[in-house]
Chains A and B, each alone.
Chain A
Amino acid sequence: MSLKEEVLEALRDVLDPELGVNIVDLGLIYGVDINENNDVVVTMTLTTPGCPLHDSISHGIRNRLAVIDEVGKVDVNIVWDPPWDPSRMSEAAKKFLWG
């Protein structure tokens, strides 16, 4: 498993505390960039601009990725463009929310 895959898998442990769904299945992650020093930049969005849980989710990402030995510095880059869309959610997330 590459480091990028390992990071993406770890991000599945970070939940949106309001919805109870992890941020990968919610389709919030737009990209994971890793440089030669293994510093990680997670580019992501939130389900709504100004979602009050942005700090909590950022903390969750930093804390979870800190557990991976190979990972250097972690930066969370939150963007609104392109905006989040429900089509980005996994089938599992849709099923969880809609039944």
Chain B
Amino acid sequence: MNGVNLKTNTNIKLPLSFIIYALAALAFAVVVLFANSGELLAGEFRMPKIWMSAHVLLLGFALMTAMGAMYQLVPVTFLTPIWNQGFGYVQFAVTAVGLTVFALLLGYRTELAVYGAGVFVIGVLMFLFQMGMTLRAKKEHNVMYYFLISALTSLFLTITFGFMLVFNFAFGEVFHHVSVLLSHMTAGVAGWFTMLIMALSYKLVPMFSLSHGFSMKWSKGALSLYLMGLVALILSYWIDLAGLRQSGFLFLFFGFGCYFLDMKEILTKRMKKNLDHPFTFSIFAIINGLVIHFLAALAAFLKNDSQTFWSWLIFLYIFTWILFSIIGYLYKIMPFLWWTHKYSEKSGKEEVPLLKDLLNERLGTALFILFIFSVGGIFLSVALETGMLLFIGLGLLAFTSFLYGISVIMVLFK
């Protein structure tokens, strides 16, 4: 039996830099949302402070976490080392500075945001280059590889459309502003984040549930249908073709449905009965994703064009699918990073803790329940048009996010 070369580990400091920045961004973003609860209640999402909060949440927290996690998980998932870790630190610095400047300018001096965005775009392009060089070394291409390539291509489209938007704010020279905005949002939340979570969960869900003998028979359907949905939906913003938008949403729903069926089979064939609560939270997010994709397809067929409805559907998509997935997985990934760094070489020499000993799982469970209550409360407050409930929901979300950030950081002291 020939042994394999497993020297694919990334130095913990690289993913950790991204994750610590991400946790600070999460706390900042929810505080800004909390401070602007009045605009949210009025269904007014297109305000500079809300843009700032949305971008800090999606770029500062979700994107930076995703980048940090990819530096750790791509070598694990694809059995290939990161191309250049030193380049990774430079990429982190450029991205973090660009993003911070961009978000602040977006909130306070929108017309100047293009300058921060420029630096941020360079950081993202460096990341795409890093991942491209890393994945180029991979000779065998499985479905996860194609999911990841699709996600990275979507990220490129997202920043391209996004840069066109801020360029428009600064110089007012880009036509089709609404088409660019909708393309930017679709490529970002559905293309980049969803396809990335799909790619990584095909590896993480079997790993955390100790599943074996599953077929992944729906994975090619999930990939092709979801890609068809994305293309159709983005084209529908540019071409006035009857049924194109509805087809796009329907393909997205069917694609996500295929992914859901694969995840269900993986979990059915698991060997670990009681799943960890953070991981269960990420599984719960998949159900949310399926329901929201269904609602979007239904609303598209009913030709519902209420801006408030779609704004809140996107809010729920971002929070209950994308962020809940990331929050759950991060709670699992952080102990692994720290354990590998601190205890790996002590294993076998002395008694070392298990991964689950590094986290307070009861606190985690309480936090996950609070996340659900706070997002549920925010959504309910809009349905009932109750300002007080929105205020409480956003306050609870800010409080929970702070505690979550602290509880993840506390792993570093164990």
Contact = CB atoms under 8 A, between A and B. Distances in A.
Contacts of B206: 48
A47 B209 CA distance: 11
Given A20-B354, A56-B343, A48 B207 contact: yes
A14 interface: yes
B235 to A, nearest CB: 37
A32 interface: no
B295 interface: no
B212 A61 contact: no
A62 B6 contact: no
Contacts of B306: none
B344 A50 contact: no
A59 B207 contact: no
Interface string A50-72: 11111111011111111000000
Contacts of B36: none
B339 interface: yes
A94 B3 contact: no
A14 B227 CA distance: 44
Contacts of B212: 47, 84-86
Given A79-B2, A86-B271, A15 B354 contact: yes
A90 interface: no
Given A19-B272, A50-B76, A97-B271, A78 B6 contact: yes
A63 B347 CA distance: 7
A89 B271 CA distance: 10
A56 B339 contact: yes
Contacts of A59: 344-345, 347-348
A56 B340 CA distance: 7
B347 A80 contact: no
Interface in B261-301: 271-274
Contacts of B303: none
Contacts of A13: 348
Contacts of B1: 30, 43, 77, 79, 81
Contact of B3 (A18, A47, A55, A77): A77
A20 B9 CA distance: 22
A60 B8 CA distance: 18
Nearest to A98: B273
B2 A99 contact: no
What size tier do the contact residues of chain A reach? 35 or more
B77 interface: yes
Given A50-B76, A50-B79, A19 B210 contact: yes
B77 A17 contact: no
B336 interface: yes
Given A94-B271, A97-B210, A98-B273, A78 B344 contact: no
Contacts of A81: 1
Contact of A14 (B3, B78, B210, B348): B348
A53 to B, nearest CB: 8
Interface in B295-347: 336, 339-340, 343-347
A14 B346 CA distance: 11
Given A17-B354, A79-B3, A50 B77 contact: yes
Nearest to A20: B354
Nearest to B358: A17
A99 B348 contact: no
Contacts of B273: 97-99
A46 to B, nearest CB: 9
Contact of A54 (B6, B78, B203, B271): B6
Contact of A62 (B3, B203, B213, B348): B348
B355 interface: yes
Contacts of B272: 19, 97-98
Q: Closest 4 CB pairs between A and B?
A: A63-B348, A60-B347, A64-B348, A60-B348
Interface of A: 13-15, 17-20, 30, 43, 47-57, 59-66, 77-81, 84-86, 89, 94, 97-99
21 contacts: A15-B347, A17-B355, A43-B3, A48-B203, A50-B8, A50-B76, A50-B77, A50-B78, A51-B207, A52-B73, A52-B76, A52-B340, A56-B340, A57-B347, A60-B348, A63-B346, A63-B347, A79-B2, A79-B4, A85-B212, A86-B271
Given A17-B353, A19-B210, A48-B203, 16 more contacts: A13-B348, A17-B339, A43-B3, A47-B212, A48-B207, A50-B76, A52-B72, A52-B336, A56-B347, A59-B344, A63-B345, A78-B3, A79-B4, A80-B4, A81-B1, A85-B212
